[in-house]
């Protein structure tokens, strides 16, 4: 039977029946044998005084060889974080290369960096799927990102009518949609419900659509 729910990005290892989740782990955490996981070097890591890029990249490469590591992430760019943007780009580009060589899709952290992310996808002629997680942008952002073949994952912000994603959500091509809980301590089911509501579709059709997207990528 197909699992009912897919949580494309979460930080909790708690699981249950009828749920596939990609659990994001830190490089210093070991990986369970069962399940789907992602490892990456978050741009915020650059701010740790003891961060060593080469060492981290080497550790990441080793992790990514494990079959249960299905994606590289989070990696990406964050314009409002204090880590040098130049160094963020450098680190991100190294991870794009790893994702391409080891053929693992990427889960992206993107804060006000759509343009740079798109430019780097083009520069590296990246073939691996990219999933931008925690998306909450406008209709225009959606067109721009999906136009470049980038998948969008939406989380808790869907439940907040004040957020702009409330209005823009219906413009996401469903073939490019994922849902996630990320850090939120709610079940992904609640996000599915909010999404189905906004799309005026039933949960089962939404589950089928997202399962099909997942099966295409992983
Ligand atoms: Zn996260």
* CA 167 to ligand 1 center in whole angstroms: 23
Q: Scan for tokens 């060589």, then name that residue.
A: 101
Q: Mean pLDDT over residues 7-29, rounded?
A: 92
pLDDT digits (tens, 9 = 90+) for 134-180: 999 999 999 999 999 999 999 999 999 999 999 999 999 999 999 99
Q: Which structural domains are found in the chain, ordered by start? A: 5-217 (3.20.20.140)
Residue 32: what pLDDT? 92
* CA 183 to ligand 1 center in whole angstroms: 6
Chain-centroid distance of CA 78 in Å reads 14
Residue 17: what pLDDT? 84
Cross-strand bridge partners of residue 131:
107, 151
Residue 72: what pLDDT? 98
Q: Mean pLDDT over residues 83-102, rounded?
A: 97
pLDDT digits (tens, 9 = 90+) for 19-56: 999 999 999 999 999 999 999 999 999 999 999 999 99
* CA 96 to ligand 1 center in whole angstroms: 18
Token digits for 208? 């089928």
- Whole-number Å distance between alpha carbons of 63 and 57: 10
User: Given a cut of 80, is residue 3 above it in pLDDT?
Assistant: no
Residue 20: what pLDDT? 95
pTM: 0.96
Residue 15: what pLDDT? 81
* CA 2 to ligand 1 center in whole angstroms: 25
User: Given a cut of 60, is residue 1 above it in pLDDT?
Assistant: no
User: Given a cut of 90, is residue 2 above it in pLDDT?
Assistant: no
Strands 177-179 and 151-154: parallel
**In Å, how far are 75, 125, 143 from 157, measured between CA atoms?**
21, 31, 19
* CA 211 to ligand 1 center in whole angstroms: 21
């Amino acid at each position: 039977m197909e699992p009912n729910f897919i949580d494309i990005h979460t930080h909790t290892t708690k699981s249950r029946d009828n749920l596939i989740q990609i659990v994001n782990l830190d490089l210093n955490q070991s990986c369970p044998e069962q399940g789907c996981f992602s490892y990456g070097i978050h741009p915020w890591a650059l701010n740790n005084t003891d961060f060593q890029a080469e060492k981290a990249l080497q550790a990441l490469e080793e992790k990514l060889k494990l079959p249960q590591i299905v994606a590289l992430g989070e990696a990406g760019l964050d314009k409002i974080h204090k880590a040098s943007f130049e160094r963020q780009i450098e680190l991100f580009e190294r991870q794009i290369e790893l994702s391409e060589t080891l053929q693992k899709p990427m889960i992206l952290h993107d804060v006000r960096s759509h343009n740079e992310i798109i430019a780097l996808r083009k520069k590296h002629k990246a073939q691996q799927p990219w999933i931008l997680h925690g998306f909450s942008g406008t209709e225009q952002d959606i067109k721009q990102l999906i136009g470049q073949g980038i998948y969008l994952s939406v989380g808790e912000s869907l439940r907040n009518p004040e957020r702009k994603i409330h209005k823009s959500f219906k413009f996401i091509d469903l073939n490019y949609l994922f849902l996630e809980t990320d850090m939120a301590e709610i079940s992904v089911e609640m996000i599915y419900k909010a999404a189905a509501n906004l799309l005026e579709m039933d949960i089962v059709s939404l589950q089928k659509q997202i399962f099909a997207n997942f099966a295409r990528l992983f």
